[in-house]
């Protein structure tokens, strides 16, 4: 883990934009943005060689504040836009920042097909269990019997597990972390950016203003403490009896395999077809 100071983080911000930023007090989006900046700064990458793409939502305001090549695209279509960028410029590092509603509800189809193709994207899903920007409707990841403005008597749908969904769709790097475990998350983002293939990180985060208030989870600090106390590393969880792990968030890199990447396979196909024409 490289220690990156706040000064370096400030160098990555767009100071001509309106600060303090738009997110509510105690929202985890700011913490995750800081962690993403630290992960980029740690690798000493050329800023012109990174693109950040987002859709619509609270978390998708992130590209407004970070000084990289950025694209703030349509609702749910962040991965579709990122696919276009990646296939046109295979050398570009593309980071997709989406929320849980953006990624799994309206953009669910794009997610599973990008995972199936094994396109070299780094998708960071900021999972706060609710649609925060539009007023707190329940999302596909709202837990069972949790309250939202559109489910005042408790949500009766079974939630998505984003990591299981991505593993099932064929993603080659799947990880989960929380907004509290910033050192672990920073390392995981670095690993995901270096991984050749589709990588997705499910970042469990807090929405203290709507989700926390409706479900009586306490303030921002209490929600952060709940993340710390109710999560466990996957390596530690394997050694524990199942009744101790039950109900906890499993953190860590859940899947990492090597598989040919889409752009490389496409380049190979192009050269093969050219050789066939010459013969």
Partner 1 sequence: MSEKVEKDRTGTIIREEDSSEKMAVEMNEVKTTGDFDAPVYIYYNWCKKCGICVAFCPTKCLARKADGSPYVKNPEKCIHCETCDRLCPDFAITGAKDKKEVPYGSQ
Residue 15 binds to partner 1 (criterion: CB under 8 A): yes
- Residue from 2, 5, 135, 235 binding partner 1 (CB under 8 A): 5
- Looking at 98-106, 153-161, 178-186, 236-244, which segment touches partner 1 (CB under 8 A)? 178-186
Report if residue 225 touches partner 1, rule: CB under 8 A.
yes
Query: Does position 211 bind partner 1 by CB under 8 A?
Result: no
Instruction: Among 2, 17, 120, 201, indicate the residue that binds partner 1 (CB under 8 A).
Output: 17
Region of 27-35, 52-60, 75-83, 120-128 interacting with partner 1 (CB under 8 A): 27-35
CB of 155 to partner 1, least distance (A): 26
Q: Which is nearer to partner 1, 3 or 278 (CB)?
A: 3
230 binds partner 1 (CB under 8 A): no
Structure tokens at 88: 């046109």
User: Distances from the Cα of 220 to the Cαs of 65, 129, 227, in angstroms?
Assistant: 22, 15, 11
19 binds partner 1 per the rule CB under 8 A: yes
Q: Count of residues for the chain? A: 279
Binding to partner 1 (CB under 8 A): which residues in 37-66?
A: 38
Residue among 195 and 251 whose Cβ is closer to partner 1: 251
Contact with partner 1 (CB under 8 A): which of 106, 109, 125, 221?
A: 221
Question: Site size for partner 1, by CB under 8 A?
Answer: 36
256 vs 197: CA distance, rounded Å: 10
Per rule CB under 8 A, is residue 189 in the interface with partner 1? no
CB atoms within 10 A of CB 145: 11
What's the closest the beta carbon of residue 61 comes to partner 1, in angstroms? 13
Q: Which of 23, 138, 173, 262 binds partner 1 (CB under 8 A)?
A: 23
Binding residues for partner 1, per CB under 8 A? Answer: 3, 5-7, 9-11, 13, 15-21, 23-31, 34-35, 38, 180, 182-183, 208, 219-221, 224-225
């Amino acid at each position: 883990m490289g220690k990156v100071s706040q000064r370096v983080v400030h160098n990555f911000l767009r100071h001509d934009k309106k600060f303090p930023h738009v997110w509510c007090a105690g929202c985890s989006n700011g913490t995750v943005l800081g962690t993403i900046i630290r992960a980029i700064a740690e690798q000493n990458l050329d800023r012109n060689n990174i693109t950040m793409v987002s859709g619509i939502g609270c978390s998708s305001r992130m590209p407004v504040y970070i000084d990289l090549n950025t694209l703030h695209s349509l609702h749910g279509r962040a991965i579709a836009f990122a696919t276009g960028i990646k296939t046109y410029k295979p050398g570009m590092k593309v980071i997709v920042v989406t929320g849980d509603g953006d990624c799994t509800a309206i953009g669910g189809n794009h997610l599973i097909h990008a995972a199936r193709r094994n396109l070299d994207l780094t998708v960071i899903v900021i999972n706060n269990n609710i649609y925060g920007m539009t007023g707190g409707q329940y999302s596909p990841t709202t837990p069972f019997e949790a309250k939202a403005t559109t489910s005042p008597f408790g949500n009766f749908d079974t939630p998505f597990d984003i990591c299981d969904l991505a593993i099932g769709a064929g993603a080659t790097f799947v990880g989960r972390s929380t907004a509290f475990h910033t050192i672990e998350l920073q390392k995981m983002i670095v690993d995901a950016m270096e991984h050749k293939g589709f990588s997705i990180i499910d970042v469990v985060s807090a929405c203290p203003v709507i989700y926390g208030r409706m479900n009586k989870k306490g303030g921002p600090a209490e929600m952060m403490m709940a993340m710390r106390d109710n999560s466990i590393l996957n390596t530690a969880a394997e050694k524990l009896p199942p009744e101790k792990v039950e109900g906890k968030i499993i953190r860590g890199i859940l899947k990492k395999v090597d598989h040919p990447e889409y752009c490389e396979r496409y380049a190979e196909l192009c050269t093969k077809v050219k050789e066939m024409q010459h013969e």
